[in-house]
Chains A and B, each alone.
Chain A
Amino acid sequence: NAGVTQTPKFQVLKTGQSMTLQCAQDMNHEYMSWYRQDPGMGLRLIHYSVGAGITDQGEVPNGYNVSRSTTEDFPLRLLSAAPSQTSVYFCASSSVTGNTIYFGEGSWLTVV
């Protein structure tokens, strides 16, 4: 029972590099989202999707890009990494009712 799977677990990037954080869920959930967690700031929403082909911005979208070509996958792209994007990133998914929202194990990103 995989649930929400994120890769990679750890990544170090140089300023200006780009990369993609992968997220996959096997629960056939319509809703998927990306949060970042920073000390003293809690978890904040970056982008979300309510279904394949539909995405929208959250609270802190600048510097990130998303797409949703399948129900299962929701990758998060960092276009040109900056030190301010050093954080822990969590992917989440739920059914459209949103009664239970499941999180992945996280991706630790350091930008130097």
Chain B
Amino acid sequence: EDQVTQSPEALRLQEGESSSLNCSYTVSGLRGLFWYRQDPGKGPEFLFTLYSAGEEKEKERLKATLTKKESFLHITAPKPEDSATYLCAVQEPQKLVFGQGTRLTINP
């Protein structure tokens, strides 16, 4: 079965301090890799879908990249409002397989 591992489990940054979150996956054939943002007490909010190695997508301060074995979510000059848990998932037929998430905290 497909597996998804996210690291680190938690990350604390200062405002403006850029960094990257990692999502490693093991799949028999990648159909799609999803990134979500989840705020406390809320549902996952869709960010990106990536399909093939080399693909990149951007949204405001976030950029997602994909290789054959992992995906990175780069956050550039983060602000306190970027604090959230970021979830990665790979698409299997009829379901998503999620990682445990990275809890990101941006201090002002």
Contact = CB atoms under 8 A, between A and B. Distances in A.
Contact of A43 (B41, B87, B91): B87
Contact of B46 (A42, A50, A100): A100
Interface residues of A, number: 23
B69 to A, nearest CB: 19
Contacts, number: 50
Identify which of A40, A102, A103, A106 gathers the most chain B CB atoms within 10 Å of its CB.
A103
B91 A45 contact: no
A99 B49 contact: yes
Contacts of A31: 94
Given A42-B87, A90-B44, 8 more contacts: A31-B94, A43-B87, A43-B98, A58-B94, A58-B95, A98-B32, A103-B36, A104-B43
